[in-house]
């Protein structure tokens, strides 16, 4: 049986894709009032600078494929700090409910008597779509979108292939850069045409974002020469609508034409 919840609170906050002006107002208020901030490796310096000067900041280092703090350690660290009476913010890139282990962390804290609040954020797929001017769903082209991950477990690729062969499904594949070649082969084997439009977006939503366009058959090429940022793969007809210029650049160009 869970312990009775005590007055302490841990906020599990989504920092969005990196830019501070893409934070929600609630996320901004949480960060500005934090007394302890446990943040993931992808959180930008711009966002971290919003925390108070006296705030205890601990980098938890969660990066796929790299040495990082174990989840059990993060859980116990949050619990220990919360029990000291500090206002704790667990800051995650994107949205904490999208591949952010928010369920595990909330369940652990609640079971040990600490209340939690989840503050949503903009997830990478939505950030990429907005930044490079393409929709994730589109009438007569994409009737649904599937968020999934590409990760290796015991040397084997783990992914959701249930919608792989549906030409009207947009696949947003998180953490897909390292498995691009195998993903290409798996998608084609599952029935998705090699000519299906595809995107590789590195560091989606941030000022350093990079877009590469191609097809499912070219996924491996699309992730070549990356700069080490997280890679999102977008598969589907909507990918053909992406513009390599960010939407802000397009607006500036339109204004200059009207001038």
Give the pLDDT band (50/70/90) at residue 29.
very high
| Distance in angstroms (rounded) separating the CA atoms of residues 141 and 145 | 11
Per-residue pLDDT, 160:
61
124-241, superfamily in CATH? Tetrapyrrole methylase, C-terminal domain (3.30.950.10)
- What are the tens digits of pLDDT across the range 81-121? 999 999 999 999 999 999 999 999 999 999 999 999 999 99
Alpha-helical regions (H) of the chain? 25-32, 45-48, 71-83, 102-111, 124-131, 180-189, 219-222, 247-258
- What are the tens digits of pLDDT across the range 216-245? 999 999 999 888 889 999 999 999 999 976
Query: For the chain, what percent of residues have pLDDT higher than 90?
Result: 71
**Residue 37's closest CA among 15, 66, 68, 4?**
15
Q: Which residues are catalytic?
A: 40, 62
- What are the tens digits of pLDDT across the range 136-175? 999 989 999 999 987 655 555 566 667 788 999 999 999 8
8-119, superfamily in CATH? Tetrapyrrole methylase, N-terminal domain (3.40.1010.10)
Q: Sketch the domain layout of the chain as residue ranges.
A: 8-119, 124-241
- DSSP for 189-236, written as a single string: HTT--TTSEEEEEESTTSTT-EEEEEEGGGHHHHTTT--SS-EEEEES
């Amino acid at each position: 049986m869970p312990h009775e919840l005590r007055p302490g609170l841990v906020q599990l906050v989504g920092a969005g894709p990196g830019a501070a002006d893409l934070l929600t107002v609630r996320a901004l208020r949480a960060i500005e009032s934090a007394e302890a901030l446990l943040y993931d490796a992808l959180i930008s310096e711009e966002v971290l600078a919003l925390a108070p000067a006296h705030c205890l900041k601990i980098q938890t280092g969660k990066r796929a494929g790299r040495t990082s703090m174990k989840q059990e350690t993060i859980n116990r660290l949050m619990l220990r700090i919360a029990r000291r009476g500090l206002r704790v913010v667990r800051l995650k890139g994107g949205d904490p409910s999208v591949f952010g282990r928010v369920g595990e962390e909330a369940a652990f804290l609640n079971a040990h008597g600490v209340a939690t609040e989840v503050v949503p954020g903009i997830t990478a797929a939505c950030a990429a779509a907005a930044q490079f001017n393409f929709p994730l769903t589109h009438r007569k082209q994409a009737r649904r979108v599937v968020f999934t991950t590409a990760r290796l477990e015991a040397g084997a690729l783990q992914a959701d292939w249930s919608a792989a062969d549906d030409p009207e499904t947009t696949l947003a594949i998180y953490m897909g850069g390292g498995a691009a070649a195998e993903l290409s082969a798996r998608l084609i084997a599952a029935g998705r045409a090699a000519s299906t439009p595809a995107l590789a977006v590195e560091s989606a939503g941030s000022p350093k974002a990079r877009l590469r366009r191609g097809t499912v058959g070219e996924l491996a090429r699309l992730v070549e020469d990356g700069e080490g940022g997280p890679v999102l793969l977008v598969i589907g007809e909507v990918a053909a609508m992406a513009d390599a210029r960010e939407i802000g650049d397009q607006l500036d160009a339109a204004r200059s034409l009207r001038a």
